[in-house]
Amino acid sequence: MAGFLDDRAVAERVLAHIAAGTTDRGREVWREPVAHYRSAERLERERDVLRRHPTPFCPSAALPEVGSYVARRAGGIPLLVVRGRDRIVRAFRNACRHRGTELASGAGCAQAFVCPYHGWSYRLDGRLQSIPHREGFPDLDEATHGLAPVHVEEKLGLVFASPSPDAPPVEGTADLPVLVAPEQRLLDTGEFVVEANWKVYLEGFIEGYHIRFAHPSTFFPYGYDNLNLVEQCGAHGRVTYPFRRIEKLADVPPDDRRIDGQVTYVYHLFPNALVTVLSHHTNFLVLEPIDVDRTRVFSYRMTNRGDDAEAQDRALRDSGFVDQTGAVEDLALVTSIQRSIDSGANEVFTFGHFESAIAHFHRRLREALGEAV
Mean pLDDT score, 232-252: 97
Mean pLDDT score, 191-219: 97
Q: Please report which residue ranges of the chain form alpha helices under DSSP H.
A: 7-20, 35-38, 40-52, 198-203, 211-214, 309-324, 326-340, 356-369
- Indicate if 73 and 158 belong to the same structural domain: yes
Q: Tell me, yes or no, whether 12 lies in a domain.
A: yes
- Indicate if 362 and 284 belong to the same structural domain: yes
- Indicate if 30 and 94 belong to the same structural domain: no
Q: Is the pLDDT of residue 199 over 90?
A: yes
CATH assignment at residue 273: 3.90.380.10
pLDDT for 321 equals 93
Mean pLDDT score, 317-342: 96
pLDDT band, residue 80 (cuts 50/70/90): very high
- Indicate if 187 and 303 belong to the same structural domain: yes
Rounded to whole angstroms, the Cα distance separating 183 from 211 reads 32
Q: Which of 162, 192, 221 is the last residue of a domain?
A: 162
CATH assignment at residue 87: 2.102.10.10
Q: Tell me, yes or no, whether 167 lies in a domain.
A: no
Q: Is the pLDDT of residue 1 over 70?
A: no
Mind listing the pLDDT tens digit for each residue in 150-189?
Answer: 999 999 999 999 998 888 899 889 999 999 999 999 999 9
Q: Tell me, yes or no, whether 71 lies in a domain.
A: yes
- Indicate if 145 and 214 belong to the same structural domain: no
Mind listing the pLDDT tens digit for each residue in 38-69?
Answer: 999 999 999 999 998 899 999 999 999 999 99
CA distances from 63 to 59, 70, 88, 124, 144 (A): 8, 8, 10, 13, 27
Q: In whole numbers, what is the pLDDT of the chain averaged over residues?
A: 96
Q: Tell me, yes or no, whether 169 lies in a domain.
A: no
Give the global pTM.
Answer: 0.96
- Indicate if 123 and 229 belong to the same structural domain: no
pLDDT for 373 equals 86
Q: Tell me, yes or no, whether 170 lies in a domain.
A: no
Q: Tell me, yes or no, whether 267 lies in a domain.
A: yes
Q: Diameter of the chain by CA atoms? A: 79
Overall number of domains in the chain: 2
Mean pLDDT score, 307-321: 90
- Indicate if 313 and 278 belong to the same structural domain: yes
Q: Is the pLDDT of residue 218 over 90?
A: yes
Query: Are residues 8 and 257 in contact, defined by beta-carbon separation less than 8 angstroms?
Result: yes
pLDDT for 166 equals 85
Q: Tell me, yes or no, whether 182 lies in a domain.
A: yes
Q: Is the peptide bond before 271 cis (omega within 30 degrees of 0)?
A: yes
Q: Which of 162, 189, 214 is the last residue of a domain?
A: 162
Residues 6+ apart with CB under 8 A from 31: 348, 349, 350, 351
Q: Tell me, yes or no, whether 171 lies in a domain.
A: no
Rounded to whole angstroms, the Cα distance separating 229 from 265 reads 10
pLDDT for 364 equals 97
pLDDT for 165 equals 84
- Indicate if 48 and 70 belong to the same structural domain: no
- Indicate if 267 and 219 belong to the same structural domain: yes
Q: Please report which residue ranges of 150-245 form alpha helices under DSSP H.
A: 198-203, 211-214
- Indicate if 42 and 102 belong to the same structural domain: no
Mind listing the pLDDT tens digit for each residue in 97-127?
Answer: 999 999 999 999 999 999 999 999 999 999 9
Which residue type, as a one-letter code, is found at position 138?
A: P
Give the domain range for residue 99.
56-162
Query: Are residues 224 and 244 in contact, defined by beta-carbon separation less than 8 angstroms?
Result: yes
- Indicate if 180 and 158 belong to the same structural domain: no
- Indicate if 61 and 208 belong to the same structural domain: no
Q: Which of 135, 162, 189 is the last residue of a domain?
A: 162
